[in-house]
Structure formats: structure tokens, C-alpha cells
Amino acid sequence: MSDQTPDHYFTAEPASSAERRALTVVLDGTSVDVETAGGIFSPGRLDLGTQVLLRTVSGPPTGDVLDLGCGWGPVALTMAMQNPLARVWAVDVNERSLDLTRRNASRLGLDGITACTPDDVPADVRLAQIWSNPPIRVGKEMLHSMLDRWLPRLVPGGSAYLVVQRNLGADSLMGWMNDRYDGTTAEVRTPEGAPFEAVATKLASAKGFRVIEVVAG
């Protein structure tokens, strides 16, 4: 994993109308038109890792679910298309990404998506599922901090699905999570204060990516 922090993860402001551009993609088997712009992750296409993730995760999400690092919104949009009754939290630190996700949700008539910064997700929200193509290139320390923040908010039996390139440390990340979330790490606790326990396994491999399933105990 790289320790460099690409600007598109943190710095972009909402795009002007002149900067936004249309993109046609297939989400949940349906061809849809969305808006993208520069300064975000994969603005010109549905990236391969996200394609692998969306093909692998089966069953519509229910309850409160999280798209961690939403970009222009393909994962959050798919979650909401699969189950309009789910409450989808599309989280990103990039304001341009959040703006585009909101625009795309409105364009597709998906009312169950809330696109917001991490601090704007209410503290009492517990998550049934997390789907994420996480920003591996922010570096291990920041990535681990993100996982420590969100995975313990899974309900018991809840699952996270993370897609990670094999050559960017997917297997080592899986090993780290199994060591970290074995229920003995005092600083990683659920919102109720119990030690967080989870098991990470390889759910699928395709196109050089691993899809890791993390099931909360």
C-alpha cells in the first residue's frame, strides 16, 4: 500500500455545471445516466474493483447500510436500487464526491441515500452492512483507522464487503483484520463498549482483486 495521499480523496470542492459531465453506466443490471467530474475517484468509468464488488455481493441490503468512500456514488446507488427501503449512508471526505452522489441519487429518484461526511452519521446508527472499495492508497495507518471507526458499528452478524487489489495488500489486510478484531484488542470496541470481534475471509477473487467479507461477532 502506498503512503501517498492523492488529492482527490480530500480536497475537491463541488464541481461547477461546466465541470460536470454525463456518464452512462450499468448498475444492478440497468443502464443509467449519472454525473461525474474531475477531482474524484474514477470519474470516467465504473472502475474495475467496484464492478467486481457489485457482481460478488448478493442479496439486497436491509436496514442501515454504509458505502464507505462513495465517490460519485455507484455503490450507494446500487444499494438503493436493490432495496429502496434501505437507509443508505454514502460517506466521503470529498465534498465534490458528496455533491455528485446527491445529484445522482436525485436523478435516479433514490430517496433513501444520505451523502455526508463521516462526522455527520449519527452516533446511534448501527450498520447491517458495509460495502466499500476502500482508498487503499491513503496508506495503512489511515486505512486501519477508517476500519477501526466503522467496522465496530456493524450489528452482531452484520457484514462488511471490501474489494482490494491483490497486489496492493488484500491478503495482508485480511490477516491484519483477523488479528485486530479477535475480541482481545481493548481499544477497538462497539458503540456499546464491548470488545469488537469479527472474522475476515476471502469471499471471491476476480480480475486481480479480492473481495473480503468481514462478519461481526
Tens-place pLDDT, residues 22-59? 999 999 999 999 999 999 999 999 999 999 999 999 88
Global pTM reads: 0.94
pLDDT band at 4, cuts 50/70/90?
A: very low
pLDDT band at 11, cuts 50/70/90?
A: low
- For residue 191, pLDDT over 80 is answered with yes
Q: How far is CA 143 from the centre of its chain?
A: 12
C-alpha span between 93 and 12 (Å, rounded): 9
- For residue 6, pLDDT over 80 is answered with no
- The correct CATH number of 47-216 out of 3.30.420.40, 3.40.50.150, 3.40.50.720, 2.130.10.10 is 3.40.50.150
Tens-place pLDDT, residues 53-89? 999 998 899 999 999 999 999 999 999 999 999 999 9
> Are the C-beta atoms of residues 135 and 71 closer than 8 Å to each other?
no
C-alpha span between 191 and 108 (Å, rounded): 34
